[in-house]
Chains A and B, each alone.
Chain A
């Protein structure tokens, strides 16, 4: 009987939730790594018992934890992220230049092609790869090197590479996104990169149509159609049908197109989910009502989903890596809030229930579907 395992990273530790395919009763494991910030946890699609966790903190830095038994036990693997040759400095908020410095891992992306390969998106922005399950890391340095790295500048959360997407047809193709820099694609395993920001428009830039400086918050794709990407930008929900060569806006009837995460239904490539947030100045939902918005036609029209979610006095945020979908026949949608809720919808967003309500602020949510 299939089941799900939900991996939740918070500001004060990690939690793992288990349920059967009904997704009504949940067992909770945790806190793991109590007191540490868990920016992200993600399992290998090829070996679901292999899970990576990014454990970090301002005092003692980065720890990379790896489990090979589905989260029962953990082993620290390498936390040595040494930048390769490349620009020595990037821009800082005040216009000065600042040396590149490793701060933390924001996102792990285990390979869909090789069980021992995992990618790490880090702050200050770079992508690293491990071919030995996290025992050693090497930067795919061409990303910082191909021309614009010295001009990159951080968003409010830091200069972070937070999104890594893989193409199931082609192990050499990756998409990445960086705040507040933009999005990039490699078609040769990271040897060369291309900026993919054409069509993005950001009014907070002196040239709103500039190639660089766009604050991409998150991107998602459906594995059956990997040339179609969806993006939640600082403002604007965007879509490309040609692997990022050209983007167009699909915000349409959303109440606000500011937000952080974006996700695609497991079985319907044109069904997408966002969580509209009032504005960049007001990081909480409009009208104090927590609503996920779903489009079933690739972004042409959006519907509000709030059945079971707080509909009054709710002023939480949902961060970029804090929404995920499972692969069960009735696709489950999951998200966590900065107020410590984790919600699940076992029916594609129609109804919601809380799995947990009083966790530390949720940084990330991932889900594994187990046979």
Chain B
């Protein structure tokens, strides 16, 4: 399935791509499988969304899908159907932090 991913400014510059990218992910489409596919296609993003060693989300990176914050959900759970169908993107963003 083609999954749409929206990247924040700094990651899209790192990956030298546009605001939105697509990756092919076989079912079951979970957050961790989408991130695996994203890092496979754009190796420069390894370590900048999740830690290298334990794959934990970096503290100030958030994941939104279908107007829900799924950052703290189990990353092996299936993503919402609209994301799986390519109707909605998985949004990766930097948390608002600062003044």
Which of A's residues lie within 8 Å of B, judged by CB? Answer: 35-36, 57-63, 76, 79-80, 82
Contacts and interface: CB of A to CB of B under 8 A. Distances in A.
B52 A60 contact: no
Nearest to B58: A61
A79 B46 contact: yes
Given A35-B10, A36-B10, A60 B49 contact: yes
Contact count band on B: 10 to 19
B17 to A, nearest CB: 14
Contacts of B8: 59
B97 interface: yes
Contact of A80 (B9, B52, B61, B97): B52
Contacts of A35: 9-10
Contact of A60 (B10, B53, B97): B10
Contacts of B58: 59-61
Contacts of A61: 47-48, 58
Given A36-B10, A58-B97, A63 B48 contact: yes
A334 B48 CA distance: 33
Interface of A, secondary structure class, is loop
Contact of B61 (A36, A59, A79): A59
Interface string B43-55: 0101111001100
Nearest to B43: A76
B61 A60 contact: yes
A82 B52 contact: yes
Contacts of B60: 58-59
A59 B61 CA distance: 6
B1 interface: no
* Residue among A60, A62, A79, A82 having the largest count of chain B Cβ atoms under 10 Å: A60
B47 A76 contact: no
B19 to A, nearest CB: 16
Given A35-B10, A60-B48, 8 more contacts: A59-B8, A59-B61, A59-B94, A59-B97, A61-B48, A63-B14, A79-B47, A82-B53
A236 to B, nearest CB: 36
Contacts of B3: none
B29 interface: no
Contacts of A76: 14, 44
B44 to A, nearest CB: 5
B87 to A, nearest CB: 27
Interface in B27-83: 44, 46-49, 52-53, 58, 60-61
B9 A60 contact: no
B61 to A, nearest CB: 7
